[in-house]
Amino acid sequence: MTINVTIFNEFLHERKIEAVREIYPDGIHMALAAALGQTDDINVQTATLQQPEHGLTEAVLAQTDVLLWWGHMAHDQVADEIVDRVQERVLKGMGLIVLHSGHFSKIFKRLMGTSCGIIWREAGEKERLWVVDPTHPIAQGIDRFIEIPQVEMYGEFFDIPEPDELIFISWFEGGEVFRSGATWRRGQGRVFYFRPGHETYPIYYQKDVLQVLRNAVYWAAFRGNTAVTGILNAPNMKEPLEEIK
Amino acid sequence: MTINVTIFNEFLHERKIEAVREIYPDGIHMALAAALGQTDDINVQTATLQQPEHGLTEAVLAQTDVLLWWGHMAHDQVADEIVDRVQERVLKGMGLIVLHSGHFSKIFKRLMGTSCGIIWREAGEKERLWVVDPTHPIAQGIDRFIEIPQVEMYGEFFDIPEPDELIFISWFEGGEVFRSGATWRRGQGRVFYFRPGHETYPIYYQKDVLQVLRNAVYWAAFRGNTAVTGILNAPNMKEPLEEIK
Amino acid sequence: MTINVTIFNEFLHERKIEAVREIYPDGIHMALAAALGQTDDINVQTATLQQPEHGLTEAVLAQTDVLLWWGHMAHDQVADEIVDRVQERVLKGMGLIVLHSGHFSKIFKRLMGTSCGIIWREAGEKERLWVVDPTHPIAQGIDRFIEIPQVEMYGEFFDIPEPDELIFISWFEGGEVFRSGATWRRGQGRVFYFRPGHETYPIYYQKDVLQVLRNAVYWAAFRGNTAVTGILNAPNMKEPLEEIK
Amino acid sequence: MTINVTIFNEFLHERKIEAVREIYPDGIHMALAAALGQTDDINVQTATLQQPEHGLTEAVLAQTDVLLWWGHMAHDQVADEIVDRVQERVLKGMGLIVLHSGHFSKIFKRLMGTSCGIIWREAGEKERLWVVDPTHPIAQGIDRFIEIPQVEMYGEFFDIPEPDELIFISWFEGGEVFRSGATWRRGQGRVFYFRPGHETYPIYYQKDVLQVLRNAVYWAAFRGNTAVTGILNAPNMKEPLEEIK
C-alpha cells in the first residue's frame, strides 16, 4: 500500500538567506522529499506557505496519510482556518510529524494545548539523541544514539503535555537535555515531534536522521479502528439500554 | 494556606427549566459552593456567563488557585478571549476541574487538542465509578466504587488524549463504560475531568461525589516548581555553553 | 517474514473436566493454534506443562518470536527456572501474550512486580470490551466493542502497574468494569494482557476475539532497536568522556 | 501526622574503604537519617544488612511508611524472603525510595520486572538533573536543574518499565543522558528512583539533593484508598450480579 506524504514548508529562510540557500537550494521541503521519496511505497508531494490555502486544500489533506510540518519565522502567517482543517484531519486519522522549530507552530500548539516553550541557544554545539524506547518502530535501525556535530540547542523545560511515548532524549555539549523524539495520540491520528533540523546546518542530509523520519512516516501512516471514527460527532445512543432492559 | 476556588457556571438550565430549578434553586454553582466552602482552608467564589467577562477577569483569575467549570448548552457563548485567558492561567499554574458536560467546553477542548466527543443517552440509568488508581489523592476516602442511582450515560470512545492518570472508570446499566475521572498536566497546571453531574439529577448533593471534588480541589491547587515558570517565554540561553567551553 | 509463535497451555482442565473437553477436545492450545496458524506468515507450535521443561527449552524460546500463555489451576507447578528463562527472553525481545487466568501466572506477576489480583464471579453473564485506543494496531478491524454472551467476570481493582497502553475496557452485566486489554514494555519485549477466554465457554472460537489475538501476535513480534540489546549487561563506558575532554 | 521512615544501608563500603569512611564516617544511612530527621513530622530509623533479618522484620516494616534503600556491592546477600516481605509491604501501601546503585537491588528489579541495567563510568564528571515535570511535588523548591560537580555517570539505555512520571533527566559532561528521577505505582505503594549518591562523593550533603529526598518522603508516604486494599486477595464477588438480575 502506498503512503501519501505531504511536506509543508514555510519556505522563507531558504529564499531570504544565502547561507541557508547553499545548504537547501530548493528548500528544506525538496531535500526531505528527495530523501523520503526514494522508496516505492512512499509517494511525496509538497506544500508551501505561499501557495493558495498554503497548499493544504481539503482535497490535498483528504488524500494525505502523513503530513510533515516545517515552520520557523512565519508561524503567525499560517491562516487559522487551515490550522482548523489540519487539526480536524489529524483527529480523523492523518499522521503528523512536526520538525524542529515547528514546536512553536499553530498546529502543534493547537494539538498539545500548551505553550510548547523551550530554552535555546545558537552556538553550533554537538548533540546526541539517545534511544530510550528501544521497542518503538521509530527507533528501529538506529544505533544507541544519533550524533549531530553542529546544532542549535533546545533545552528543558519543554512545555509539552506528558508524551504518550518518549523515544529520544537529547544531550547538548553546553549542558542541557531535551525530549527530542516524542509521540502523542490525538483522536485517530498519530503525532510525532522530532527536534533535529535547523536551517543553517545540513542535518536533513544525515543518514540516521532521515532513517528516523522514514520510520516515523510508516508509523504515523497507520490507520486505526475505523468503527470508532464513525461516532466522533457525539451521537445519542438509545438502543443498548432498551435491549438490556 | 487558604485555597481560592472559583466556580464557573453558565447558569442557564437552572433559570429556564423548572425541573432543574427544583434541584438546584440557586444554580449548580451555589450548590457546589455550599459544599466545597464548608472547610476553613477553602475560600469559594462564583462566576457566571452573564457577568462582564463571564466573571473571569484578569484580577479574579490571578487570585484563583482552582477553577471549576460547568457548562452545557452555551459553550459557544463563552468569549474566545476569556478562553485564551483561562488557558494561559492554567499553563502558569492554576488548577482546573471540568465537570460533566464541560467535556465539550471551549477551554477543555483547547487544553486537550481533541474533539472531546462521546456517545450519550438520557435514560435515568444506574452508574458505578470504579477506582482504578487507589494511590491517587483524588480517590482517597472513597469506597471501591461510587454508585449513582440515576444518570445520563456517557460512553466510549471518549476522544481525549491519553490521560496522565486514570482514576475512575464508569459502568452503566445500559452496557457502556467511560473514563470518568482522569488527569492531565498542562504547563504548570493540573487538570481533572470528572463525569458525574447532570443538571436533572441531584448528583451534586451525593456525599462521595462531593468528596471527590473536595479531594480534587486540594490536588489541583498544588503549586509546582516556580523556577520553571520563569522560562516559559522561550529565552535564549547563552551562558551555559560559554561556561563549559 | 515468518513469525514463530509458541502457545503454552497447562492443559489440565481439558483432560480432567468433561464439560471443558467438549468445548476444547484437543486442548485450548490446539484451538488457538488452529486459529492463529491459518495465515502463511505465522508458524505455530505448542508447549504444555507436562512436557520436559514444560516444552519451553532454551532452543524453543530462542526461536520463538511471540509466546502465548494459558494457565489457571497449576500456576505453582511451573518451575521457577523456566519462569527465569522466559523473563530473560522477553527482556531480550520476545513478545508475550498473557490470556485470561494467566493474570495469576508466575511469569506475568514476575514481569509486572505486583500481585495481579482481581475480583471475580462465575455467573455466565454478558461482557462487552470497549475500544478506548482506536489508533492501536491491536484494535484494528474490530467494531466499537466486542460482545461475548457468557463469561466469567473479572473486576477492578486489577492490581497491575499502570499500563503503557490501555486498549480495551470491559463492561459486565453484573456491574463491574475491567482493564481487559493492556500493554507494557519490558526491556526489549512487548507484553499484552487479554482477558477473554474462560475454559468453560467457547470464547476462543469467536471471530473478533481471534482477530485481536492475531493483531496482538503481529504487534508483539516487532523487533526493536538491536543496538540497545547489546548493552543490557551494564558495561563500563570509558570512551565518550575521554573523547570530549 | 508523623511519617515513619526506615533507611536501609548495606553498610559495607563505609567500613571497608577509607576514602568512603572519610565522607560518611557513620555510614550513608546515618548521614541521610541526620538530614531527613530534622523536621518534627519525620521519624527516622535505620536498618543494615548485618542485622538479623537485615533489620527489616515484620514489625519494623509494619510501622514503616517510607523505606529508603541503599545497596551496591552486596545485592546478592539480601535474603529472598526479606525481598518478598518488602515487596508485599509496598503492594499494601509502603512507599519505597531507591537510591543510586540500588537500581540493581533485588527489591527494585522485583518491582520493575526488568534487568534495570545501565551503562556507567567513574570519571568524576559533572552532572545536571533537569526538571521535566514542574508540577510534581518531588520537584518543588528546586531550581530548573540540580548541578552536582563530581559524580559517577549512569547512562541510557536504563532498562526500566516506562515510568508513570518522569521528573528529572540527567546530563553528563561525558555525553550521556539518564532518567534520574522517576516514579511507578506498584499496588497501593509509591516507588521513586533517584540517581544521585555515589559513595565516593559527598552528594548526600548537597542541599538540593536532600530537598528532593525530603519531598520524596512526603510524596511516598501518601496513604491511598483503603477500601481497595481489602480486596487484594482476589475474592469471589457473588452479590452484585444477583442484585441486578
Give the pLDDT of residue C1: 80
Task: Name chain B contacts of D143, Cβ cutoff 8 Å.
Answer: 227
| Contact call for B142 and D225, based on CB within 8 A | yes
Q: Measured between CB atoms, does B224 come within 8 Å of chain D?
A: yes
Q: How far is the alpha carbon of D230 from chain A, nearest alpha carbon, in Å?
A: 32
Residue with the three cell numbers 454553582: B29
User: In a mutagenesis test of the B interface, which of C156, C162, C180 is the best target, namely the one with the most B β-carbons within 10 Å?
Assistant: C156
Compute the mean pLDDT over every residue in chain D, rounded to the nearest whole number: 93
Task: Name chain C contacts of A139, Cβ cutoff 8 Å.
Answer: 224-225
User: In a mutagenesis test of the D interface, which of B94, B190, B225, B229 is the best target, namely the one with the most D β-carbons within 10 Å?
Assistant: B225
| Contact call for D117 and C241, based on CB within 8 A | no
pLDDT of A229 over the 80 cut: no
pLDDT of D234 over the 90 cut: no
Residue with the three cell numbers 512436557: C51
Confidence of residue C239 (pLDDT cuts 50, 70, 90): low
* pLDDT > 90: percent of chain A: 88
Q: Which of B98, B96, B73 is nearest to B86 (CA)?
A: B96
Confidence of residue B242 (pLDDT cuts 50, 70, 90): low
Q: Measured between CB atoms, does C161 come within 8 Å of chain A?
A: no
Question: Range with the lowest mean pLDDT among A161-170, A215-224, D231-240?
Answer: D231-240
- How does pLDDT run across D23-53, given as a tens digit for each residue? 999 999 999 999 999 989 999 999 999 999 9
Give the pLDDT of residue D223: 80
Mean pLDDT of the A158-183 span: 97
Helix, strand or coil for residue D230?
Answer: coil
Q: Are strands A189-194 and A165-172 parallel, antiparallel or unpaired?
A: unpaired
Residue C187 φ/ψ, nearest 5 degrees: 60, -125
- Provide the CATH number for the domain around residue A238: 3.40.50.880
B155 belongs to a structural domain: no
Give the pLDDT of residue D91: 95
Q: Measured between CB atoms, does B141 come within 8 Å of chain D?
A: yes
What is the distance between the alpha carbons of residues D211 and A222, in angstroms, rounded to a whole number?
45
- How does pLDDT run across B110-134, given as a tens digit for each residue? 999 999 999 999 999 999 999 999 9
A28 belongs to a structural domain: yes
Q: Which of D150, D212, D222 is nearest to D190 (CA)?
A: D222
pLDDT of B244 over the 50 cut: no
| Contact call for B172 and C176, based on CB within 8 A | no
Residue type, C90: V
- How does pLDDT run across B5-48, given as a tens digit for each residue? 999 999 999 999 999 999 999 999 999 999 999 989 999 999 99
Confidence of residue C242 (pLDDT cuts 50, 70, 90): low
pLDDT of D198 over the 80 cut: yes
Q: Measured between CB atoms, does A140 come within 8 Å of chain C?
A: yes
Q: How far is the alpha carbon of B80 from chain C, nearest alpha carbon, in Å?
A: 30
Q: What is the residue range of C193's domain?
A: 3-115+178-226
Give the pLDDT of residue B69: 98
Residues 6+ apart with CB under 8 A from B13: B20, B72, B73, B199
Mean pLDDT of the C95-105 span: 98
Find the closest chain C residue to A186 by CA distance: C135
Residue with the three cell numbers 480541589: B217
Mean pLDDT of the A178-184 span: 98
Task: Name chain C contacts of A135, Cβ cutoff 8 Å.
Answer: 93, 185, 188-190, 222, 224-225
Chains meeting C at 3+ CB pairs closer than 8 A?
A, B, D
Give the pLDDT of residue D226: 75
A27 belongs to a structural domain: yes
What is the distance between the alpha carbons of residues A135 and A157, in angstroms, rounded to a whole number?
26
pLDDT of B82 over the 90 cut: yes
C242 belongs to a structural domain: no
Confidence of residue C244 (pLDDT cuts 50, 70, 90): very low
Confidence of residue A108 (pLDDT cuts 50, 70, 90): very high
Task: Name chain A contacts of B184, Cβ cutoff 8 Å.
Answer: 161-162
Q: Measured between CB atoms, does D84 come within 8 Å of chain C?
A: no
Say if CB C106 and CB C75 are below 8 A apart.
yes
Q: Measured between CB atoms, does A71 come within 8 Å of chain B?
A: no
Question: Range with the lowest mean pLDDT among A65-79, B182-196, C142-156, D230-244?
Answer: D230-244
Find the closest chain C residue to B244 by CA distance: C245
- Check residues C233 and A71 and name the one with the higher pLDDT: A71
Residue C41 φ/ψ, nearest 5 degrees: -90, 5
- Check residues C243 and A236 and name the one with the higher pLDDT: A236
User: In a mutagenesis test of the A interface, which of B98, B107, B157, B171 is the best target, namely the one with the most A β-carbons within 10 Å?
Assistant: B157
Mean pLDDT of the D79-87 span: 98
| Contact call for B157 and C144, based on CB within 8 A | yes
Residues 6+ apart with CB under 8 A from A238: B121, B123
Give the pLDDT of residue A245: 42
Q: Which of A134, A188, A189 is the closest to C224 by Cβ?
A: A134
A56 belongs to a structural domain: yes
Q: Which of B133, B95, B130 is nearest to B214 (CA)?
A: B95
- How does pLDDT run across D201-218, given as a tens digit for each residue? 999 999 999 999 999 999
Mean pLDDT of the D126-154 span: 96
- How does pLDDT run across C53-65, given as a tens digit for each residue? 999 999 999 999 9
Give the pLDDT of residue B231: 62
Say if CB C109 and CB C183 are below 8 A apart.
no
| Contact call for B130 and C169, based on CB within 8 A | no
Q: Are strands B165-172 and A3-9 parallel, antiparallel or unpaired?
A: unpaired
Q: Which of B129, B144, B135 is nearest to B194 (CA)?
A: B129
Q: Which of B59, B47, B3 is nearest to B223 (CA)?
A: B3
If you write DSSP's letter for every residue of B106-130 in order, what string do you get? HHHHHHH-S----EEEEEEEEEEEE
pTM reported for the whole predicted model: 0.95
Q: Measured between CB atoms, does D123 come within 8 Å of chain B?
A: no
Compute the mean pLDDT over every residue in chain A, rounded to the nearest whole number: 93
B166 belongs to a structural domain: no
Give the pLDDT of residue B245: 42
Say if CB B190 and CB B35 are below 8 A apart.
no
* pLDDT > 70: percent of chain C: 94
Mean pLDDT of the B176-193 span: 97
Q: Measured between CB atoms, does D127 come within 8 Å of chain C?
A: no
Work out how many domains chain C is built from and give that number: 1
Q: Which of A162, A166, A171 is the closest to D171 by Cβ?
A: A171
Chains meeting B at 3+ CB pairs closer than 8 A?
A, C, D
Mean pLDDT of the A137-154 span: 96
- Three cell numbers at B216? 480534587
Could you give the count of Cα atoms lying within 13 Å of A170 in the half-sphere of its Cβ? Answer: 30
Compute the mean pLDDT over every residue in chain B, rounded to the nearest whole number: 93
Give the pLDDT of residue B20: 94
Q: Are strands C177-186 and A177-186 parallel, antiparallel or unpaired?
A: unpaired
Find the closest chain C residue to D231 by CA distance: C119
| Contact call for B237 and A120, based on CB within 8 A | yes
pLDDT of B90 over the 90 cut: yes
Radius of gyration of chain C (CA): 19
Task: Name chain C contacts of D241, Cβ cutoff 8 Å.
Answer: 121, 123, 125, 153, 172-175
| Contact call for A130 and D162, based on CB within 8 A | no
Give the pLDDT of residue B172: 97
Q: Which of A114, A155, A240 is the closest to B174 by Cβ?
A: A240
Cis peptide before C172 (omega within 30 of 0): no
Question: Range with the lowest mean pLDDT among B229-233, D101-105, D145-149?
Answer: B229-233
Give the pLDDT of residue D65: 97
C98 belongs to a structural domain: yes
| Contact call for B173 and A115, based on CB within 8 A | no
Find the closest chain B residue to D90 by CA distance: B135
pLDDT of B139 over the 70 cut: yes
Confidence of residue B184 (pLDDT cuts 50, 70, 90): very high
B47 belongs to a structural domain: yes
In this prediction, the answer to ipTM > 0.90 reads yes
